[in-house]
Amino acid sequence: MATDTTSDTGNIPPNEPLYVNGEAELDDIVAENDVVLTDFYADWCGPCRMLEPIVENLAENTDATVAKVDVDANQQLAAAYGVRGVPTLVLFVGGEQVEQIVGVQGEEELRTLIESYTE
């Protein structure tokens, strides 16, 4: 009989980014998951497009839940988190914002950052 090893660790993070529409939706994701990497992006932003495959890999290969917020569609939400430029990555741990990174980052740096909170 197979045992469920995830039952005492909470929700299993999805292996693809969750697209957020509105502050309530982001609040729910942050409340329901231990570690959430939130990518504030814009479709017209070249660096955001460069970051997209990195963020998708992190969603698939780390214990973090990855959320994506389109700043054009969610201007108030972006403003609430002090997002002034895109891409901006905000890391939440245990419901609290612990990191904010502006600009394109390498996958290894982001993975190390996430793992520092998930291990």
Number of folded domains that form the chain: 1
Reading the block at residue 7, the tokens are 């039952």
Q: Residue 76's pLDDT is what?
A: 96
User: Is residue 71 in a domain?
Assistant: yes
User: Is residue 6 in a domain?
Assistant: no
Respond yes or no: is residue 34 known to be catalytic.
Answer: no
User: Is residue 3 in a domain?
Assistant: no
Residue type, 25: E
pTM: 0.88
User: Is residue 9 in a domain?
Assistant: no
Mean pLDDT of the chain: 91
pLDDT tens digits, one per residue of 37-93: 999 999 999 999 999 999 999 999 999 999 999 999 999 999 999 999 999 999 999
User: Is residue 5 in a domain?
Assistant: no
Annotated catalytic residue: which of 14, 23, 25, 45? Answer: 45
Residue 87 belongs to domain spanning = 18-118
- CATH number for position 32: 3.40.30.10
Annotated catalytic residue: which of 30, 48, 51, 83? Answer: 48
4 has pLDDT over 70: no
Respond yes or no: is residue 48 known to be catalytic.
Answer: yes
* CB contact set of 72 (below 8 Å; sequence gap of 6+): 42, 43, 44
User: Is residue 11 in a domain?
Assistant: no
* CB contact set of 35 (below 8 Å; sequence gap of 6+): 13, 63, 64, 65, 91, 92, 93, 114, 117, 118
